Every structure is written in structure tokens, then in C-alpha cells.
Structure 1
Amino acid sequence: MNVYLCEKPSQAKDLAAVLGIRKREDGFFTDGGQNTVTWAFGHLLEQFMPDDYDPALKAWNVESLPIIPEVWKSKVKKSAAKQYKIIQQLVGRASVVYIATDYDREGETIARDLLERFRYAGAIKRVPLTSLDEISIREALNNTLDDYQTKPLFFAGQARTRADWLVGMNFSRLFTVIAGQAGIRETFHIGRVITPLVGLVVARDKSIESFVPEPYCELTASIQVQRGSFKAKWVPPEEVCDSEGRCTNKAFAEQVLNDVRGQKGVISKAETKDHKASAPLPFSLSNLQMYASKAWGYTAQDVLDAAQSLYETHKATTYPRTDSDYLPESQRGDVRQVFQAMILSDDSISGLVAGADPDRKARAFNDKKVDAHHAIIPTRTKCDISKMSEKERNLYDIIRRRYIAQFYAPYEYQQTDVVVTCREQTFVTSGRVPTAQGWKVLFNDAVDDEDQEKKEDDQILPPLNTGEPAQIHSAELADKMTRPAPHFTEATLLAAMKNIARFVDEPKFKKILKETAGLGTEATRAGIINGALTKGYIKRDKRVIKATDKGKAVISLVPHIISSPGMTAAWEQELEKIVSGDQQLSVFIKQLEGWLSKLVGQIKIHSHEIISSDAGAQLKSLAPVTLPCFTCGSDLKRIKGKNGFFWGCQSRACNKTFQDNRGKPVDPAIAAKPPRNAPDCPQCGSPMLKRKGKPRDGKKAEDFWGCSSYPQCKGTKPVTKRKRNTSKEHS
């Protein structure tokens, strides 16, 4: 029997339909004989926790560290027990297992973790799914791969899982305990990728806080020639410039201003060249996330979720978790089918499709730039755009426009570069004139205009000739101040994660890192940012991302080697080497274990020094506000419960709790006194107290009046909200 193992039920349903299987049983589809399609729910297995290996490890203490399993073990998730047994029974009867999970590292690991646990020894084939439309599934079924071709993906997946476990379990425990010694009762989640991400944001915030603006000046001249005028910027001599070429000597600039104003000069260069610009490439996931952040303010997770839905639910676009901007040469023959599917899905696009040349040799087709997955493009199947959400429609629209753009002529323009010389001073400017819009007719905004910044400085120049006389008609000197690098936005943070080598300053990592080395992968970056937000390390402030006090504290607490993006990016490259066969799983883990043991040992020895350093001072900023208990005088701590905040006494002997009122504990003695405006109880006539109710049906808790004689009398009354005076609005 052939067993097809998918990653999720919807994927299995699509695959079964193409195989002609209609009968659904409990946990699988079957034709009653040769073929069965079953599914997981993502990872059905999870790694053992430390206390699964040894119950004594349930307690967090530094003496037990480092924790390094001798034999790696996993267990079935409780929520997955039923489906696990179904898959186990089916695989036990299989002659061939077809892995049909997502065609990536995690998808391979989801399937092979199960097969390894089942000790399956039969034949294995790989279905290389890149789209879930019928045509693509059929092609994948006709082009299955052999077991050995994709098994290295599994080894890399295991390496990633174990590396994350070793770093997370050991350092989270270690630094949480160290922080506890400083009186901070916070859990510090340390991660192989999340901690360097937080480090990036903290470093940027610190550079902004410590930035000292420096003055500089810019001299702009209005230049008159025979057939018109234009503006040009002064190029200051190197000796009066900073490292960025800005003039920092105002007295010198003022002297130049006085020297050239009203003086005659010459056009020492007027050079016009024809230029062509090819269309921007189709999207990888990161580039789509960056585009959507700039265009609509979408978060990385918003984009991943919507792109996953376009792929999985609507069958409108191809696999989204890709790091490639290119397409395989084999897809050149699919262009007309993709165009036809787009028109059938939405005929309003037909005019733009009509302007495309499907036979154009687009630069997007390049086998050398494509690995397991190609760029995100529309599928060859009609989709129903009326069922898409606004986010999905926006993403689908820009994905299809990027694809169509590959088959449009280049954008063409003439650029004129001008140099003016006057009194031994140089002024420069440039002008650009479009000569053919080409692919730009597809885009209405500046997000897809890679030359937008240059374009803003361009001007329409009059006809100019080299050697032509020119006069500095007027000139003005502007005082300016240097600015720090801006706070990260989601788009710029994604860009930093994708090209992390630019942010690495350690020579040993700079030497080994490729320019394209990344922090995390296309599939994980959105989740990493979300994780840092959820754990309270970073926060969104409108459209920028900043570090929280907790984020600053964790980076001050851990050594630089843990928060360094260089170390993590180097590890990510090692995982890629495992995929390519240039590194072995066992060697990678052995190296990691050695590094971990040495570092944990060093930190344990110096833990008291860490607390007394700047890290200790930073940790104190996290100390919760404490107030004296109304009963025993011990510290009260504000605690978040399932029904909102309350205050709890930290003395175990007392253990009293008190209501919270806008961040302050409510004294029960005062709370027991009815306010002047309190109504009388409708049951016994006693004055009533305002009390807080419980949240119901997802709604916030509301105040109500309760009898002050409770529990003898249980009379209640709703709190009547004051009506807003709207007379002015209607006058």
C-alpha cells in the first residue's frame, strides 16, 4: 500500500482529490486498496523537557547545568495522540511512504521524525510540492524524489531543533536563576535567534539615545545658462568634510558662498546617457513582508498568515516560505497558463496582461538562483478573489503584478550628469527624463520604485553643453544637523535579519559569513519577531519597534557571544552545510555542546560579578512596585489573574489578596465604607458598595452595586452609566 503523509488535513484533501480518492475515514482518505492519504497537524512529536529525562531537573538551579541529553528523546503531544496512532497503523502496512509535507526543512522533519519513531524500514519517496493547485500537485506526483535526495533536510531540521533546545533550556534557566539572585522574579527566555534579534533592537535604541548631533552645512547654487536655469549642490573639499562628505567648516562654506555668488563659471561636464531598468523580481517571503510593511503597515505575521492562506485555502499563489526571488527555467512554458488563470480569476487584470510579452526572456528565470523553492507567483488555477480578505487581495494583487512585470519592456530614461566649476569650486546635479515607462505602468506607488530617493533630487534640466558659460545667479547656505539611524520598523528589522552580515562586527564571524547570511529563515522570522513581542522584550510604538526595559535587561545580562547575531548566523550557515552534505549532524552538535559547556561553566563562576555590574543595575529597573500589606505590612505585589489584576501579599503566613483599582491596591477598610452616592439595597435597605464583576462571554468585567451586608444579604443592582451630554452636537 502507498501511504501519502501530508502536513495538515487541507493539504491531504487536495492531494487525495488529485489521486481520485473520495472516501474519507477517521484520520485518512483511502481508495480502499492501493492508496491512502493521511496527515499530521504540524509536529506531532515534541522534545523531552529536562524533567522528562530526570525528575530532579524540574527545579531550576545552576548546579544542574549544563543539561545535555546523552540520547535525544521525544514524546507524542497529548493533543496529537489519536492521529499519531492512526498514522502509525497506516505506516505499519505501507510498502512505500510518500512524504508530502511542505517541501522544506521543517516539513521534512515533521514526516521523518514520525517514520524514525515508527522504525519504518520500507521505501520512502518525496513529493516536492510547491503549489497546491491541481496542475502543480499532479506535476509533483509525476516527479517524486528518492529518499536520499531530501534526507539531509531532516538532518538539518534535527540539528536546528537540538541547537534551539540546548541554548534555550540551559541559558533560560541560568540567567533566570542569576536574575533571581538579584531579587527579580522574571523568567528570561534565552533563544538562539530571539536573543540576537533583541540585541539588534537594543543596540539601535542605544545608538539613538547616545547620539550627539553634529552641525554641518549645505551650499546650493541657482545657476543661470543660456537656455534656462537649474540648481546644483556644492562639493566641499575633503579637508573640510566628515567621513560622509558633509562640510563641517561653516566659515569655509561662508567664504565659498561669498566668492561664487554672482560670479561666472563653466559647465565642465554635461553628459547624457540612456539607461534601462529591469522590472523588480518576483517576491521572496521576506521581500513581500518588507513591501507590505511599507505599503500598508502589515506586520510580518500578517503577511505570512495571508500568504499561507493564498497558497493553502485559495490556491491562488505558490508556496510562501521561500527565500528565492527567482524562477526555474522549466517554468518558462507555464507563462501563458498563469496569465490565463489570472484573467479567469479577475478580468480587470486583462488589460495589463495584454501588454505583456510571454516570450520575453525575463531575468527572473535562473536555475542557479533557485533551490527547493522558487519565488512566490500566481498559480495556473483559477481562484475566487471575492472570497479573499482585504489583506489577501492586496498581497495577491502585488504578487501578480510583479509576475506580469517580468514580461514587460524595461523602464527607460535619459540621465544627464552635470558638473559646474566656478572660482575653483565644484557644483554637481543630475536630471532624469523618462523615455519609455515599460513595466512601471503596472505600479501606481513609489514602493516599487527602487530609485525613488534619487528621483526626488532629480530636476528637469535645460539643454546643456560641456564648455558652456554659466553664472551663479544666487546661492544659499543651509545649517543642518546630523541625525541618528532611525528606529527599526518591521520592514527594516526584517531587512536586517535577512542580511545580518552587515550588523556583525566580530572579525572572526565577518570572515566566515556570506553577505547573504541571515538571522532565522524565511519561515521563522515573523514568528521570532512575534515571540520577542509576546515575551515583552520589544514593543511596537506606532510603526517603529523599540526595546522594553526587559529587553534591555536581558541583553545587559547575557554575554555578547549569546546576543551576537554573528554566532547565530554562523550556525545557520552550518545548518545549510548539513543540507548540502558539507557538514554532519553529529559533528555540529558535538561542537555546540563543547561551546555550551565551556560558556555555562564560565558564567556560573562569575555570576556574582554579573549581578554587581551594569546588568544588575539594569535588572533593578524590572523590580515590581511594592506596597505594604494592609493586614501584616509585608510586600504586596500586583499580579495578573484570569479576571484581571489583583494584589497579593508576598508573606506566605498572610497570603491575603486585595482588589486592584487603576494600578493601586484597594484598602478593604475603605472599600467597606459605602460612598455618599451609594444607593440603598433593594432587598434590605442597607447602603451598597461598588464591586467589580467577572468577565463574561469574552466581554470585559463591569462594575455593579452589591449590598454592604453581604453575605447575609445578596442584593445587587447595576451601575447606571452617566449619559453623555450631546446637546451641543445637535445644536
Structure 2
Amino acid sequence: MSKALYIAEKPSVAQEFAKALKINGQRRDGYLESDTSVVTWCVGHLVTMSYPEKYDMKYKRWSFDTLPFLPRDFKYEVIPGVQKQFQIVKGLLNRPDIETIYVCTDSGREGEYIYRLVAQMAGVKGKKEKRVWIDSQTEEEIMRGIREAKDISEYDNLAASAYLRAKEDYLMGINFSRVLTLRYGNSVSNYLSSKYQAISVGRVMTCVLGMVVRREREIRSFVKTPFYRVVSSIVLEGEKFEGEWRAVEGSSYFQSPVLYKENGFKKKEDARGLIQSLSSVQPLSCTVEKVERKKENKNPPLLFNLAELQNVCSKLFKISPDETLAVVQELYEKKLVTYPRTDARVLSTAVAKVISKNISGLQNYGPAADAAKEALSMGTWQTIAKTRYVNDKQITDHYAIIPTGQGLGNLKGLSLTSQRVYETIVRRFLCIFYPPAVYQKVSIVTRMGNESFFSSFKVLVSEGYLKIAANSFARKKASDTEGRAAEGKSEEDSEDVACDAALLGALQKLKKNDILSVDSLNIKEGETSPPKRYNSGSMILAMENAGQLIEDEELRAQIKGSGIGTSATRAEILKKLFNIKYLSLNKKTQMITPTLLGEMIYDVVNCSIRQLLNPELTASWEKGLTYVAEGSITEQEYMDKLEHFVRIRTNQVEASNYQYALRQFFDASAQYYKKPERSTRSASSGKQGGKSS
């Protein structure tokens, strides 16, 4: 009797498939079996690309003579530590009674790659292979995925892009790391008085290093500039409010060179001069020139993708992106949330049709039970497909991270941080079924002589979704701050001043040409701020947006798909940069800074392969992989471009000679560090080969 084989990426996932398939058969060594089905698993990657010395022992020694290394056919091998499981999987894949193979690895590029390598090494032939593509690990979703499984050939383009991504990282990593180490490794190690220093570079990690170093140098070179604003203190029915002077058209200072900006002076004496000229007429008063009242709706934010969740968790819980990924992966495996490695922040129309199931399940989740009940009773879920929260065009592999409404019993066994991350995901999800928050805005322009003063007020008149946005564990005083962080917003997002009901009532009565008394005119001193350092969350957002830290979610949507790395790899890339001591992470603040070694590597790359530091170029490589996955360009076209890039740049570095210039750059950075950081030879450099000559 023929059987079906289900191959998952991890043992825990295989267990969920076995439960869904009602496999009560025996647990064997490395698989589960019943009368009709067999379930087995990989343990992450079972197969990897071979080191250059497996092609020829001459490549073991790092030498200019063997560069660039561009093999015609790539070699692969089973990872030594997982040989046993590979042999078990290989045996099952080729078992005569196995007729159909259901590929149940993670639904994404990397999951596709994991299986394709195993099938390639196992020599699978003559079997039906079907791809199971699921968005969560609930029993219902697993069975849907099996039912609707497509022939694996439909994912050949995705597999091609996965192979190319690995080849790209391999070829750039090996060729550029070797050639830079051979040419400049001694310059780095001699300067640091350390042992042999391998220079580790990569398509994505070097670009990220460049972003951090450039930001640090911008901060260092920043010179604070003082500026002086003039404000009026205006009296209204016993209340006071401020007006900010601006040099608009008609002002005596319009476009004057003494201005820092439209609303301030470079020198204090000029601000005093303005106050003196305005104070010539006593008592001080102003005329209302313009009053504008309007209501402003603030919509709930879009749902979480992985980058947005990592950004929010960095702010709320001070955890790093790889910790966030580990937490949300655990929530996924416990059936609590949908697939985490997603770039989408919207739902699909198919999911929107059945979204009431997710909400219904959350009625049993204590911290948000009332919110879920209210969301259901309002009935907005019935028309959610017509809103900005549902858009099939903005989804590539998976829709946004949302709660499944299931698996709630698993919450008790999770860490406090995991429980809090789950609540954050739940609240972001439920918010989209609530109405917008409504603010009353009042904008006033007052005049004193030729000079205009501006005031703006904002009062929340209807909470809308905000009443459920803040987490239950937030301290009362911090709840607004936390709510803003959970929405991915900063304190500086709003220039409007909050005001109480009494002042708002008085403002509502104001009309044009009213004359108000001015209590005083004052100077407010400020100074320009340096750029902010990246924290682990803002770094992930900057990577998602090709090096631009874009807070505005609509702008982010416009350049979607142009990021550096992918949602699945960004956290791991940052972690590697911390591990090889190119970057430092302050665990308390999650702030990222370069090390001296990191700055030195930046200078080496900046002199020799500057393109690796360019976020837009790095993003364009990622976009190219997307084109391969979509079938827009062929695998060969991409490979030709890649080999040309590697060959040209490798030869350029070999011909370069920047040792003298680099010494000056190293000196310029070293002054900001107490002492040179002694660097030990990394394990990875040991694997790659011998010393540079």
C-alpha cells in the first residue's frame, strides 16, 4: 500500500502535522508513521554549500592566484552534525512505498531552499512532490494547506531565487573577504597589535556596518547651533496660551539672513530687537487674524510585519530583533499567531472573509476579551475587506502577523516577555476593527503690528481604537508613551499642544478680529540636535527601507520590496555583526554603535569596494532576487550579472594600494576609543583558510 510522506522543517512542526493528520502510529527514530502516512523533519538546514577546498585543495590557502573563485558547478554537502537525520530523511524520500511527498518546510524562500537541497542530495526521482503553503500551524490551516497543495514545479522560480541568494552571499563573502584580507588584513592587525585579522564582508552585513559607521561620524562632526524663538503669552478668559512668532510674508524679517529658520534667530540680540520693536506700543495686545477649527481622524495603524514588530519590541521591551524573532517564532509554533517572517502589513481577501473566527477566539483571552467581544458586536469585520487593512497586491508570500485566536492554553507555559509580545500583537490586530480616534484641532494666527504668531491645539474628543491600544501591563503614567511606541510613533510626531476643556471652550468662541491682551513676550532658547543613533528596532526598519528610517507607513509601503536583506535574515545579520565585534549593542537601551575594528573595516571597504556600502545597490540585488522569484528575469541573467560584479571588484582590490591612506583613517577613528580593541581570530576565519601573505 502506497503512503504519503510529509517533511517539515523542525521536529516541533512535524508534531503539529502528525496531530492534524491524526497519526497515532509509532514514533520511530527520526519520523512518525501510520498505515497511510509518514511524517519526518529536517533540523533546519541539513545540507550546505561546500568550502572552496572541496573543489581543489589549492583553494585552502588564501592566495591572489586563486581569486576570483567562480565555480561553474557548485558543490554541496551534508552538514556533519546532522548526518544521522539526513540519512533517515533520504531513506524515507526514496522508500518504494512512498508515492507522494508533501513539502511542509516553512512557507518562504529559505524553507524552499532547505527542502530542495535535501531532495537534491538524496537523489529523489519519480515521486509526486507537492508544496504545502500555510500561514499558521492551526489544525484547520494545516489541513487546508495539504488539501490545496500545488505541484512543487510551481515554486521553481522561488527555488531558483533561493539558490541564487545563497550563491551570491557565498561568492561575495569568499572572494571579497579573501581579497581584502590578503591586501589589507595586515594593515588592520598591525594597527590593533593583534594576531592575524581576517576581514569579513558580505552583501548585506557590510552595508549595515556602513549605515552605523556613517551615522556615528555624522554625530561626531555635528556642531550644535543655538537658536532663539520669540513667543507671546496670550490671555484668554483667565487662561493663557502661547503664540510662536514666524517670519512669514509681510514680516519685517521675511527671508532675512539673521534668521536660523522661519521661527527663530541665530543671535539672541536679534530676538531682543524684535521684542523691543513689538513692545513700543503698550499695553501689549494682539489681533486674531485667523481661526481654523477642524476635526481630524487618526486611523488605527497597519498590522505588524516582522520588521515593525521588531521595532516596537525594541522600544517596549528593550529586546533585540533576533530575540523578538525567537519569541514570535515560538508563538507561531504554539499556534498562537500566524507565520512571522512576513513583509506584509495587511490581510488577504481570503482571510478577511473568515476573520471573525480569529476575533471570536480572542474572547477567551483575558487581557483583551472585552475588546474582542466589542469588536465582534460592532460588526466592522464584515466590511474589513473594503479598508486599507486588506490588499492582496501588497502580499507576496504571507499576510501580516495576527493572532489565530487558538492555542491560548499554551500561553501559561511561556515567558512573561512572550506573553507581553502576544498581547501587543493582539491589540494591534483588534484595533483595526475599531473606529478612528477623533481630535478637535484649533489653529490660531494672531498679529502684533506686521508680525504673526501661530498657535495650534489638539484635543481628543473620541478615543476610538485608542481605548484598547495600550497594553494591560502598562503603568498608568507610561500608557500613552507605550501606546505611541506600540504604534511605532515617537513623542516628537505631533507639534500640536494638548489643552484642557476650559481653554478649548474659550478657544471655540474666538473669532476673527478679536483683540486679546498679551501678558508678555519671551525668548525661548534652543539648539539643534545631532542625528540619532540607530537602536536595534530602528535599524531593522532602516534595513527594510533601503537605508532610510521612514516612520511614515504610507511612504514605507511605496518602496516595499526594496529593502536590505529579508524579514527572515535581518536579525541574524545584526547578530553576526555583534558577534564578530564590528558593532556593539547596549542591551539596556538597544542602542547600536560601531567598534574601532568595525570603523577600520568600513574604511578598508570604503577605499576598495565602496559599492558594498551602498544601501540602494544592496537593495537592488534583493529586488533582483524577487524578479527571479516572479519569473521576470532568468536565473542565468542574474548569475551573469553577479559573476561580472564579483570578478571586476576582486580584480580592482588586488590592484589597489591604500595602506598609507588607511593609516590616517584609522588614526582619525582611534581617538574616539580609549584603547585599541585587541581582536582574536574568529572561528569563521579559521574555517576559511590560512594567513594572508
TM norm structure 2: 0.84
In 2 relative to 1, CA 641–413 (structure 1 residues): closer, same or farther, beyond 3 Å? Answer: closer
Q: Report the Cα offset of residue 420 of structure 1.
A: 1.5
Shift of 1:339: 2.5
Structure 1 partner of 2:16: 14
Q: What do residues 430-479 of structure 1 show as CA deviations (whole Å, max 9, x unaligned)?
A: 11121211111113333443484355741324322222223332121122
Cross-structure match for 1:207: 218
Indicate how the Cα distance of structure 1 residues 588 and 533 shifts in structure 2: closer, same or farther if over 3 A, else same: same
Task: Work out whether 1:571 is the aligned partner of 2:621.
Answer: yes
SS of residue matched to 1:239 = coil
- Partner residue in 1 for 2:109: 105
CA distance in 2, matches of 1:294, 1:389: 18
Change (3 A) 1:324 1:246: farther
Q: 1:616 to 1:422 in 2, by over 3 A?
A: closer
CA distance in 2, matches of 1:278, 1:41: 43
Whether 1:468 and 2:514 are equivalent positions in the alignment is yes
Give the unaligned 5+ runs of structure 2.
191-195, 248-253, 471-478, 551-557, 684-693
CA deviation vs aligned residue, 1:382-420 (integer Å, no higher than 9, x gap): 422211111110111111111111111211111111112
Report the CA distance shift for 1:341/1:477 in structure 2 as closer, same or farther (over 3 A). same
- Aligned with 1:143 (options 148, 154, 171): 148
Instruction: Give the corresponding residue for 1:186.
Output: 197
Partner of 2:604 in structure 1?
Answer: 557
Partner in structure 2 of residue 306 of structure 1: 327
- How much has 1:586 moved relative to structure 2? 1.7
Give the distance between the partners of 1:121 and 1:514, measured in 2 at CA: 43
Give yes or no for contact 2:48–2:77 (8 Å, CA) kept in 1: yes
> What is the one-letter code of the residue matched to 2:111?
G
CA shift at 1:338, angstroms? 1.6
Amino acid at match of 2:331: L
Quote how far apart the aligned CAs of 1:179 are: 3.0
1:599–1:246 distance in 2 versus 1, CA, 3 Å: farther
Aligned to 1:335: 355
Q: Deviations over 1:635-667 (max 9, x none)?
A: xx997999xxxxxxxxxxxxxxxxxxxxxxxxx
In structure 2, relative to structure 1, the CA distance for the partners of 1:31 and 1:484 (3 Å cut) is same
Displacement of 1:611 after TM fit? Answer: 6.3
Which residue of 2 is the match for residue 720 of structure 1? none
Corresponding residue for 1:129? 134
- Distance between the aligned counterparts of 2:175 and 2:23, measured in 1? 48
Equivalents in 2 of 1:99, 1:348: separation in Å?
Answer: 37
Instruction: Mark the runs of 5 or more structure 1 residues left unpaired by the alignment.
Output: 505-512, 627-636, 643-731
1:487 and 1:97, CA in 2 relative to 1: closer, same or farther beyond 3 A? same
Equivalence for 2:305: 284
Task: State, as a whole percentage, how many aligned pairs show the same letter.
Answer: 26
- The aligned residue for residue 603 of structure 1 is 653
Q: Are 1:353 and 2:372 counterparts? A: yes
Deviation, 1:119, is 4.4
SS at 1:355 equivalent: helix
SS of 1:488 mapped into structure 2: coil
User: How many residues are aligned here?
Assistant: 621
Q: Paired residue for 2:277? A: 259
Q: Is the 8 A contact 1:268 1:466 kept in 2?
A: yes
Q: Which residue among 318, 333, 339 is the counterpart of 1:319?
A: 339
The residue that corresponds to 2:392 in the other structure is 367
Query: Once the 2 structures are TM-superposed, how far is the Cα of residue 229 of structure 1 from its aligned partner?
Result: 3.1
Matches within 5 A, 1:432-443: 432-443=458-469
Which deviates more, 465-474 or 59-68? 465-474
Alignment of structure 1 residues 585-596 onto 2, 5 Å: 585-596=635-646
The 5 Å alignment of 1:574-723 reads 574-607=624-657, 609=659, 614-615=664-665, 617=667
Secondary structure in structure 1 of the residue aligned to 2:72: coil
Quick check: 122-131 or 218-227, which moved more?
218-227
CA offset digits 1:453-506 (Å, max 9, x no partner): 3557413243222222233321211222212102111122122111125389xx
- 1:356-435 alignment runs, 5 A limit: 356=375, 357-360=378-381, 361-362=383-384, 363=387, 364-384=389-409, 385-435=411-461
The alignment status of 1:517 with 2:562, answered yes or no, reads yes
Measure the CA separation in 2 of the matches of 1:367 and 1:443.
Answer: 26
**Residues 472 and 259 of structure 1: CA distance in aligned 2, closer, same or farther (over 3 Å):** farther
Q: 1:400 to 1:170 in 2, by over 3 A?
A: same
CA contact 2:103–2:131 (8 Å) conserved in 1: yes
Which residue matches 1:458? 497
Displacement of 1:583: 1.8
Q: d(CA) in 2 for partners of 1:242 and 1:400? A: 46
Contact 2:184/2:659 (<8 A) preserved: no
Q: Does 1:5 align with 2:7?
A: yes
The DSSP-based 3-state class of the residue aligned with 2:265 is coil
Contact 1:556 1:618 in 2 (8 A): no
Following TM superposition, by how much is the alpha carbon of 1:602 offset from its aligned partner in structure 2, in angstroms? 1.2
Q: 2-side partners of 1:638 and 1:200: how far apart?
A: 22
Which of 239, 247, 256 is residue 239 of structure 1 equivalent to? 256
User: What residue in structure 2 maps to residue 727 of structure 1?
Assistant: none
Letter in structure 1 aligned against 2:130: K
Query: Can you list the C-alpha shifts for 1:222-267, whole angstroms capped at 9, x where unaligned?
Result: 1234674311211133334447865325443222222234533321
Q: CA RMSD in A?
A: 2.7
Deviation at 1:622, TM superposition (A): 13
Q: How far does residue 38 in structure 1 lie from its aligned partner after superposition?
A: 1.4
More helix by share: 2
Provide Cα deviations, 1:178-233, integer angstroms capped at 9, x if missing partner. Answer: 23443542122111111111111100110111111222112221123467431121
The structure with the largest alpha-carbon Rg is 1
Q: How has the CA–CA distance of structure 1 residues 456 and 215 changed in structure 2, closer, same or farther, with 3 Å as cutoff?
A: closer
Q: Which residue of 2 aligns with 1:29?
A: 32
Structure 1 position 620, deviation (Å): 8.6
| Deviation for aligned residue 1:595 | 1.2
After TM superposition, give the deviation of residue 327 of structure 1 in Å: 0.7
Whether contact under 8 Å (2:580, 2:682) holds in the other structure is no
Q: Could you tell me how far apart the structure 2 residues matched to 1:639 and 1:415 are?
A: 59
Greater relative CO (CA pairs within 8 A, separation 6+): 2
Q: Secondary structure at the match of 2:654?
A: helix
